[in-house]
C-alpha cells in the first residue's frame, strides 16, 4: 500500500499552505472517508498485528486508529527524530498499538503514555460532559505485566496527573514527533497541548482524538480558543479527527 497511488497526489501539489499540507490532509482524510484507503489499511498485515495486541484494551474509533497508523507508517519518518506522547491512555490500547508500529517501522521512536490510570480528575461541569472518575477501573499492574509480555521495550507508562508527571518527563523525552491527545476534558486537553509545544519538532503532529465528539465540547473549545484563535493554527485534517502541525519554530 502506497499513498502516492491515490488520485489526489496527481491533483494537489506538495508543500505547505498556512502551515499544513493540503495534499497530505486530503490523502489521509478523503482517502479514509470516501476512497478505498480504509479497506487497504484493514488488510495491511502490520495494522492487523498491532490491532490484535490492542483491540480488547481500546475504545478508540476504527477510523481514528487507522489515521494514526497512516501517520506513523508514512509521515513520521519525514520529520526530525523524536518520540510519540499520548495523554489519556485508559487501558493502554492506543499506546500499545502505536508502540508495535514503531517497533517495526521507527525503532528509535519511543511511545510515552500519560494517564492517572485511575480515572479522570476533577472536571468543569460548565463545559465537560464527563465527570471525575470516568474511565476508572484500570488494573495498572496487569497492564504493566501485559506490556512486559509483549516485549514492547519502547513503550513507557507514565502514571499520575499530567501536571505532576509531564514537566520532568518531557525534558527527558526532549523531542516530540507526534502528540496524541485523548483526554476528553478541557483542562486535560489544554494542559497537554501547551506542555508539549516547546518540545514539538518542526512540522510535528498534534492529533486530537475527541474534539469532534458530541460529548467532548471542552476539547473542542481548546481547539477553537487556543489552537486556532490564540496560536493561529490551521488544521491539516478534520476527518476522522483534528490534526494540526507545529510551525517552523516548533511552537
* Host domain of residue 79: 20-245
Instruction: Confirm whether 235 is domain-assigned.
Output: yes
- Provide CB contacts within 8 A for 229, sequence distance 6+: none
Query: What's the Cα-to-Cα distance from 64 to each of 80, 117, 140, 215, rounded to whole Å?
Result: 24, 22, 25, 16
Compute, in degrees rounded to 10, the torsion defined by CA atoms 144, 109, 168, 183.
-70
Instruction: Confirm whether 237 is domain-assigned.
Output: yes
Instruction: Confirm whether 11 is domain-assigned.
Output: no
Instruction: Confirm whether 192 is domain-assigned.
Output: yes
Instruction: Confirm whether 227 is domain-assigned.
Output: yes
Give the number of domains in the chain. Answer: 1
- Provide CB contacts within 8 A for 208, sequence distance 6+: 181, 182, 189, 219, 223, 241, 242, 243, 244
- Provide CB contacts within 8 A for 216, sequence distance 6+: 128, 129, 130, 184, 185, 210
Query: What's the Cα-to-Cα distance from 206 to each of 117, 129, 242, rounded to whole Å?
Result: 22, 23, 8
Instruction: Confirm whether 158 is domain-assigned.
Output: yes
Read off the CATH number of the domain in which 141 is found.
Answer: 3.40.50.150
Rounded to the nearest 5 degrees, what angle is found at the Cα of 116, between the Cα atoms of 115 and 119? Answer: 105
| pLDDT of 138 | 85
Instruction: Confirm whether 12 is domain-assigned.
Output: no
Q: Quick check: bond before 240 cis, omega within 30?
A: yes
Instruction: Confirm whether 15 is domain-assigned.
Output: no
Distance CA 142, CA 231 (A): 40
DSSP string, 3-47: GGGSTHHHHSPSS-BTTB-HHHHHHHHHHHHTSSHHHHHHT-HHH
Return the C-alpha cell found at 173. Answer: 523525552
| pLDDT of 131 | 64
Give per-10-residue mean pLDDT for the chain (251 aa): 74 90 94 93 97 91 97 97 96 96 98 91 80 74 96 97 97 98 92 98 96 90 97 97 80 43
Contact at 8 Å (CB) between 59 and 90?
A: yes
Amino acid at each position: 500500500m502506497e499513498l502516492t497511488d491515490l488520485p489526489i497526489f496527481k491533483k494537489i501539489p506538495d508543500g505547505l499552505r498556512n502551515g499544513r499540507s493540503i495534499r497530505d490532509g486530503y490523502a489521509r482524510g478523503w482517502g479514509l472517508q470516501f476512497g478505498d484507503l480504509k479497506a487497504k489499511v484493514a488488510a495491511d498485515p502490520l495494522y492487523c498485528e498491532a490491532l490484535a495486541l490492542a483491540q480488547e484494551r481500546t475504545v478508540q474509533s476504527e477510523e481514528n486508529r487507522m489515521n494514526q497508523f497512516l501517520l506513523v507508517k508514512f509521515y513520521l519518518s519525514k520529520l526530525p527524530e523524536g518520540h510519540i506522547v499520548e495523554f489519556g491512555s485508559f487501558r493502554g490500547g492506543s499506546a500499545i498499538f502505536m508502540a508495535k508500529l514503531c517497533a517495526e517501522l521507527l525503532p528509535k521512536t519511543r511511545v510515552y503514555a500519560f494517564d492517572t490510570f485511575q480515572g479522570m480528575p476533577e472536571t468543569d461541569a460548565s463545559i465537560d460532559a464527563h465527570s471525575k472518575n470516568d474511565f476508572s477501573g484500570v488494573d495498572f499492574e496487569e497492564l504493566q505485566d501485559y506490556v512486559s509480555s509483549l516485549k514492547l521495550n519502547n513503550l513507557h507508562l507514565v502514571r499520575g496527573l499530567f501536571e505532576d508527571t509531564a514537566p520532568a518527563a518531557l525534558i527527558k523525552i526532549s523531542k516530540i514527533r507526534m502528540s496524541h491527545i485523548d483526554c476528553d476534558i478541557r483542562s486535560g486537553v489544554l494542559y497537554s497541548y501547551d506542555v508539549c509545544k516547546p518540545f514539538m519538532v518542526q512540522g510535528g503532529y498534534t492529533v486530537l482524538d475527541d474534539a469532534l465528539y458530541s460529548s467532548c465540547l471542552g476539547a473542542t473549545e481548546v481547539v477553537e480558543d487556543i489552537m486556532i484563535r490564540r496560536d493561529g493554527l490551521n488544521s491539516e485534517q478534520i476527518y476522522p479527527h483534528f490534526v494540526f502541525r507545529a510551525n517552523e519554530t516548533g511552537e
